[in-house]
Chains A and B, each alone.
Chain A
Amino acid sequence: MESDLQQILADVEEALPAIESKAQFEQYKATVVGPNGKFTAATKTIGKLPPAERPGAGKLINEYKTRLQARFDEALRRLDSAELAAKVGPPVDVTLPSPDHGPGGAHLVSQVREEICSILRKIGFVVADGPEAETEYFCFDALNTPKDHPARDLHDTYYIHPETRFGNVSRKGGERFLLRTHTSSVQIRTMLEQPPPLRIIAPGRCFRRDTADATHSANFHQIEALYVDKGVTVRDLKADLDYLFRSLLGPDAETRFRPHYFSYTEPSFEVDFRSAHLGKVGSEWMEIMGCGMVDPAVFAEVGYDPEVWTGYAFGLGIERIAMTLYGIDDIRYLYQNDFRFLRQFA
């Protein structure tokens, strides 16, 4: 009898791996343990044995029954997982590149803008906003720019068609509309709206009537900063700019103030920086931005008492900083939108 059982088990062990579906499995299983199965038939022979042998045979049958069941369970598990795997298809070649579009990414100018804003937010600045279409008052007059200053020329500044009326850009009087040449106009709009003290940064697009070349672009981006409080000093300005440039360019960055002239600050400075971190480029002083203490005439214009309030302002070109940080030698790449360029910074 045992040899019969052994044979059945061997047959099952041989047959099961070839079975590929559950239906086939059930069918096969019935031929072994179903009512007419071979194993069932074998168990029935027990009745024909002499009573003394029956307990041994019963034990044997139970033992084989357990072993068979284990084989069937195993096969069923195999078929279950194969069935699940069929739902996700055949195995893939994991080394194939993704056929989907590459990653999205922020434009480099946006990245640098956000980096600078984030550095300055840490020292209490908040981001303000103002229109790109401006008027002569906000862009020049209120910033103490002399009436016949060359910056106001048709040669240097874009003016908007004289018949154009704006629905949401306010004017002081009947002055001309223009495209702002700097974000300093946001200083004026903010101060006219809010009482001091304030500490704002205004990133945004500016326009100058320049012929495009490697360092000039018909539009570019600036970040303006304005800090108004009691007792703001030149030393604070220097300290805050040192902090900004060390944050941007690394702890070895140095800044240098050169006396300069802007109509809306007094004293005014141009700022040079250098940083060993930038290698050869960083070893020479490089001009990077302008700054100064807010001219009392500007405070008077917006109704802040110049005897009480002091402040500083600075403005820096985002493209210029980006080009310095990333070693880009032509500003036009920033507006050309070649994917191979843009993705380098994604």
Chain B
Amino acid sequence: MIVSRNWIERYVGLDGIEDSAVEHALTMVGFEVEGVTRKGLPPLDNIVVGEVVSHDKHPNADRLSVCQVRVDDGNPRTIVCGAKNFADGDHVIVALPGAVLPGDFEIKVSKLRGVESQGMMCSERELGLGDDHAGIAVLADRPEIGTPVNEVFDAGDTLFDIEITPNRPDALSQTGIARELAAWFKRDLVYPDIRVNLLAGPGGHLIESVVSETEENCPHYRGYAIRGVKIGPSPRWLKTALESIGLRPVNNVVDATNFVLHELGQPLHAFDVRKIRGGRIIVRQARKGECITTLDEKKRTLDPGMMVIADAERSLVVAGVMGSVDAEVDDTTTDIFLESAYFNPSSVRRTARTLGLSTDSSYRFERGVDPRGAEFAALRCIDLIVELAGGEALGPPLVAGEPPFTEREIDLSTDWVRGCLGFDISDEDMAAHLASLELDVRETTDDNDRPLLRVGIPTFRLDLYRPIDLVEEILRLHGTDKVPPAEVRTHGLLAEDDPLVVFNRRVASLLIGRGYQEVAHYSLRDGVELKKWYGHCAEDSLALTNPLASDASHLRPSLIPGLLDCFAFNQARLNPLAPVFETGRVFREYDGKVFEMLSIAFALPREGAGGWLRREPVDFHAVARVAQDIFQQAGVSVDPARFEPVSGDSIWQEGHAARFGGFKMGFEAAFGVLSLNMTSQWDLRTPVCAGAVYFTPEYLKREPRRRRYQPFSAFPPATRDLALVVPVGTSAGHVRTELQRVARQAAKSTGIEVESVDVFDVYQGKGIPADAKSLAFSIVFRSAGRTLTDKEVNPVFDAIQAKIIEGTGYAVRK
């Protein structure tokens, strides 16, 4: 909202208070100042009215003239001037040496092309008066020579653009802000005088009746009759006031209603009585399909959720929002019906929102006008109309309903206030602060004889209901800058960070330590992309109701597309690709329900790093390692034998990717080489190795288990190598699991432990059938109590070899 300093000074004297102090005051009472604009002429010294006595061409410059200008009774001064828009005898504005023009431009005696100039004739722009810079300002009304420029032009104005929080509808007017400044500066606030005495009028009405058929939405409606007005332009002062806050003057009657709206915050509406059909004003809900052409010349279809002001035949105004062309005051209007009402905020809000139409009026009704403010505003407006347009108010208004009852008192313990604030403010200061806001403060005591302020809340303060609300009022006016500094009071609460957060930190440091750069992408993705790559998600379950853009219409089920975006972006910028990771929330569907999960995804270009030295390409096993390490941070032990190869998947390249876990376990992962279709869709020149790991929050929050120490043997191991020739499609994990099982069984009850079974070589080629491969395992035996001898180990190893061949079709490679 724009606040005009000139306007508010009608109600509160701000003499001696600089604009910057007003700005500070507004800020400190809670109205953020978004801009300060100075309009018109600032106070200027050494700038006076002068008369051009004569002018000649400059001897050395075609475009300049050398003028003789009289500014006092003495000799004319020589002034060099570039403008051409004046004649001898014109009165102009002369800045004398020593003057400082807006923009800190100081005028000095100086030589221009060899001719000494003893001042400057000014344009409007140079004075800060306007934008006219076509020539110097020529004063048509010829003020007396030597008159200081500030006496020639109106004083300027300062406009403060302020933000008013939704809890303060009482501040949505010039008097509302004046009230706050009066309270801050502890100055008097003067409301406009009411001159009209309706009881002294001739009496009678211009229409027959006013009815509210929708009392909940319009509890209170007043209609005043003014007869015999003459529509015409508003006087200068009124136009200036309206223009200062960005309004366009229309005519004296409309301007008067607008002025009062912005003066007091109460919207008013003036009807041309001739246009009210049937002599009745009815406040009702609109009929289905009813149409109205609002003053912005748009035809609008109404619905029964909207309230209108109607006559006997048709609706004339969308209540509280905007009038229609049908009841508009025009140049020929003579009789006025003036509406001043209290409308239910949510009704107006709903209507304005449905119509997509926000006006100064709807904005105030939506937030809540003073329920008892209608009468005062109407009287003020009648005074202005009679003053500006003549005519007379007939008498007391037609009234429907009553203002809602909002009077209340709050008992405030001053000790309690100090307890909330944590520092001292005296009872007297508290009372003074509240009283300065026009709250009705009485000092009393409670049952324990402790001081109490009994505070009556004026009807315009819709935000004050509870003692805590008054604490804010006291603090605002005391000054939040006076909260004294203090030590941090702290004691431990003996709690630990959320396990998700702890886990996230650990994973991030793991990956950063491995050379991965963390990246961050938006959580919203394109629905088309989702369908293409994550088609298994039901199309709608991740959709937003109200996306802003089609490329941000769905929740992300995976971080992988973001990582590809990152590679594509950096590739386009010719930045060498490097390993990246992201952690964040993703949304995945299982059995028809969406689960919010924590995901960690990482990716790196398959081509190894390089530069002057090429590195080996990265493969599946490298990313499988990273995935395993991430799981380890979550306390999940990973046996690669349980990895399942991925096939027939849109995201992962068949034969080069695996899955692990499952939603029911609380975690899952896929990793390997990304489908080449996918990487080429992103125009990436290199295949990408990646992994995506998912955890349910519930899994990460499970109770941590402390591990028990396992004793380990002090004796050396005995190792036996065993190469098995197996069908080429058999997975090493499967064979290893089987071999381990067989080995443990064979060693059982021998006192020998099979410590580990590990693959150490995979071979295909010479000496092996084409449809087979050789897997070489090393089996480590150990005993807790002694050094093993061949005599002990060999029979076990022989048993293992015999057993593993049995029934599997594997052969031992000699």
Say if the beta carbon of A143 comes within 8 Å of chain B. Answer: no
Contacting B at CB under 8 A, from A209-250, are 209-211, 217-219, 231, 233-236, 238-240, 242-243
**Closest B residue to A106 using CB positions:** B518
A121, A126, A133, A259: the one contacting B555 at CB < 8 Å is A133
Q: Give me 10 other A-B pairs in contact (C-beta within 8 A), A260-B32, A334-B520, A338-B569 excluded.
A: A101-B604, A131-B585, A154-B546, A161-B541, A168-B697, A207-B523, A207-B524, A210-B548, A240-B488, A257-B481
Quick one: which of B457-508 are within 8 Å of A by CB?
466, 468-469, 471-472, 475-476, 480-481, 483-493, 495-498, 500-501, 505, 508
**B580-605 Cβ-contact flags toward A at 8 Å (1 or 0):** 10001101001111111000000010
Nearest-neighbour CB distance to chain B for A267, whole angstroms, equals 3
- Identify the 4 closest CB pairs spanning chains A and B, nearest first: A233-B422, A235-B422, A259-B30, A267-B472
Q: Is B544 within 8 A of A158, CB to CB?
A: yes
A274 within 8 A of B: no
Stretch at the interface among A41-49, A57-65, A107-115: A107-115
Q: Once the chains are docked, how many angstroms separate the CA of A201 from the CA of B468?
A: 25
A105 adjacent to B501 (CB under 8 Å): no
- Give CA–CA (A298, B590) in the complex, Å: 35
A335 close to chain B: CB less than 8 A: yes
Contacts of B350 in A (CB 8 A): 148
- Residue from the list A238, A261, A310 in contact with B483, Cβ < 8 A: A238
A310-B523 CB under 8 A given contacts A123-B490, A168-B596: no
Q: Are B475 and A168 in contact (CB under 8 A)?
A: no
> Whole-angstrom distance between the alpha carbons of A300 and B518 in the complex?
41
Smallest CB-CB separation from A231: which chain B residue?
B419
Q: Which of A8-16, A26-34, A80-88, A92-100 contacts B (4 or more CB under 8 A)?
A: A92-100
8 contacts between A and B (CB under 8 A): A101-B604, A106-B518, A107-B520, A131-B697, A161-B540, A161-B542, A167-B594, A296-B468
| Nearest-CB residue, chain A, relative to B597 | A168
- A184 and B565 CA atoms in complex are apart in Å by 31
Within 8 Å of chain A (Cβ to Cβ): is B245? Answer: no
The answer to whether B421 and A105 touch across the interface, beta carbons within 8 angstroms, is no
A129 in complex: contacting residue of B490, B540, B566, B697, CB < 8 Å: B697
- With both chains docked as a complex, state the minimum distance between the C-beta of A327 and any C-beta of chain B, in angstroms: 19
Quick one: given A99-B609, A233-B420, A270-B32, are A107 and B488 in contact (CB under 8 Å)? no
Q: A100: which of B508, B515, B585 is its contact (CB, 8 Å)?
A: B515
**Residues of chain A contacted by B552 (CB below 8 angstroms):** 218
Known contacts A104-B513, A269-B480, A334-B520; decide if A165 and B593 are in contact (CB<8 Å).
yes
Let me know if A260 and B612 touch, CB within 8 A. Answer: no
B745: interface (CB < 8 Å):
no
Across the interface, do B594 and A127 meet the contact criterion of CB distance under 8 Å? no
**How long is the Cα–Cα vector from A169 to B547 in the complex, in angstroms?**
21
- Shortest beta-carbon distance, A49 to chain B, in Å? 59
Query: Which single residue of chain B is at the shortest CB-CB distance from A176?
Result: B545
CA distance A205 to B521 in the complex (A): 11
Q: Which chain B residues lie closer than 8 Å to A155 at the CB level?
A: 546
Taking the complex as formed, is A36 at the interface, i.e. its CB lies under 8 A from any CB of chain B?
Answer: no
Residues of B contacting A235 in the complex (Cβ-Cβ under 8 angstroms):
421-423, 483-484, 486
When the two chains form their complex, are residues B517 and A343 in contact, meaning their CB atoms are under 8 A apart?
A: yes
Q: Complex formed: what's the CA distance from A222 to B622 in Å?
A: 35
Let me know if B713 is at the binding interface, CB within 8 A.
no
Shortest distance between the CB of B416 and any CB in chain A (Å): 10
Instruction: Determine the chain A residues whose CB is within 8 A of the CB of B573 once the complex forms.
Output: 338, 340
Out of A97, A127, A166, which one reaches B501, CB within 8 Å? Answer: A127
Q: Which of B236-279 contact A (CB under 8 A)?
A: none
Q: Which residues of A contact B322 (CB under 8 A)?
A: none
Q: For chain B, which range describes its interface: under 10, 10 to 19, 20 to 34, or 35 or more residues?
A: 35 or more
- Residues from chain A with a CB closer than 8 A to the CB of B32 are 258, 260, 270, 287
**Known A-B contacts A104-B513, A343-B517; A124 and B546 likewise in contact (beta carbons under 8 Å):** no
CB-based nearest A residue for B563: A337
Cα A126 to Cα B591 with chains together (Å): 35
Instruction: Give the chain A neighbours of B614 by CB distance below 8 A.
Output: 99
Question: Per-residue CB proximity of A127-157 to B under 8 Å, as 1/0?
Answer: 1110111000000000000001110011100
In the complex, A197 Cα to B547 Cα: how many Å?
Answer: 40
A252-283 contacts to B, CB under 8 A, are: 256-261, 266-270
Known: A106-B518, A236-B422, A293-B420. A256 touches B545 (CB 8 A): no
A259 touches B480 (CB 8 A): yes
Q: Taking the nearest CB of chain A, how far is it from the CB of B366, in angstroms?
A: 9
User: B168 near A: Cβ within 8 Å?
Assistant: yes
Q: How large is the interface on A (under 10, 10 to 19, 20 to 34, 35 or more residues)?
A: 35 or more
**What is the CB-to-nearest-CB distance from A72 to chain B, in angstroms, rounded to a whole number?**
38
Complex: A270 Cα to B163 Cα, angstroms: 12
Q: How far is the CB of A168 from chain B (nearest CB, A)?
A: 5
State whether A209 and B520 are in contact (beta carbons under 8 Å apart), knowing that A104-B514, A124-B492, A166-B596 are contacts in the complex. Answer: no
A160 with B544: CB separation less than 8 A: yes
Within 180-223 of A, Cβ neighbours of B (below 8 Å) are at 197-199, 203, 205, 207, 209-211, 217-219
Q: Given the known inter-chain contacts A106-B512, A260-B30, A339-B575, please indicate yes or no for A168 contacting B698, CB distance below 8 A.
A: yes
User: Does B684 count as interface, using CB distance less than 8 angstroms?
Assistant: no
Is the CB–CB distance between B500 and A243 below 8 Å? no
Name the B residues within 8 Å of A336 (CB-CB): 569
Whether the pair A159, B585 counts as a contact (CB closer than 8 A) is no
C-alpha spacing A336/B566, complex, angstroms: 7
Decide yes or no whether B613 CB sits under 8 A from chain A.
yes
Residue-wise interface mask of B (114-137) relative to A, using a CB-CB cutoff of 8 A (1 in contact, 0 not): 000000000000000000000000
Which A residues are in CB contact (< 8 Å) with B647? none
Does B764 touch A at the CB level, under 8 Å?
no
Partner of B420, one of A234, A242, A268, A342: A234
In the assembled complex, which residues on chain B have CB atoms less than 8 Å from the CB atom of A218? Answer: 522, 524, 548, 552
Q: Choose among A101, A163, A239, A343 the residue that contacts B541 (Cβ–Cβ < 8 A).
A: A163
CB distance from A253 to the nearest CB of B (A): 13
A199 to B505, CA, bound (A): 20
Chain A nearest CB, measured from B363 CB (Å) = 12
Interface string of B624-643 (1 = CB under 8 A from A): 00000000000000000000
The answer to whether the Cβ of B519 comes within 8 Å of any Cβ in the partner chain is yes
CB of A103 within 8 A of chain B? yes
Which residues does chain B contribute within 8 Å of A207, judged by CB atoms? Answer: 523-524
Closest to A232 in B: B422
Question: Does B3 make an interface contact (CB < 8 A)?
Answer: no
Contacts of A343 in B (CB 8 A): 517
Complex CA–CA separation, A260 to B31 (angstroms): 8
User: In the complex, which residues of chain B have a beta carbon less than 8 angstroms from the beta carbon of A150?
Assistant: 166
**A310 touching B420, Cβ below 8 Å:** yes
B residues less than 8 Å from A132 (CB atoms): 523, 585, 596
> What is the CA–CA distance of A89 and B591 in the complex, to the nearest angstrom?
59
Q: In the complex, what residue of chain B is closest to A131 when comparing beta carbons?
A: B596
A325 within 8 A of B: no
The answer to whether the Cβ of A50 comes within 8 Å of any Cβ in the partner chain is no
- In the assembly, what is the distance between CA of A218 and CA of B513, in Å? 30
Instruction: Say whether A346 faces chain B, with CB atoms less than 8 Å apart.
Output: yes
Name the one of A96, A236, A259, A269 contacting B612, with C-beta atoms under 8 angstroms.
A96
A162 CB within 8 Å of chain B: yes
Instruction: Decide if A161 touches B466 in the complex (CB within 8 Å).
Output: no
In the complex the two chains form, is A100's CB within 8 Å of B523's CB? no
CB distance from A229 to the nearest CB of B (A): 9
Instruction: Tell me which residues across on chain A come within 8 A of B519, comparing CB atoms.
Output: 107, 337, 342
Tell me, in angstroms, the Cα distance from A343 to B495 when the chains sit together: 35
Interface string of B365-386 (1 = CB under 8 A from A): 0000000000000000000000
Tell me whether B615 and A99 are in contact (CB under 8 A).
Answer: yes
Smallest beta-carbon distance A137→chain B, Å: 16
Q: Answer yes or no: A35 CB below 8 A from chain B CBs.
A: no
Alpha-carbon distance A197/B490, docked complex (angstroms)? 13
A66 at the interface (CB under 8 A from B): no
Q: Which residues of A contact B471 (CB under 8 A)?
A: 266-267
A104–B517 CB distance below 8 A: yes
Identify A124's interface contact among B472, B491, B513, CB under 8 A. Answer: B491
Are A164 and B475 in contact, CB atoms less than 8 angstroms apart?
no
Query: In residues 530-589 of chain B, which contact A (Cβ within 8 Å)?
Result: 540-548, 552, 555, 565-566, 569-570, 573, 575-576, 578-580, 584-585, 587
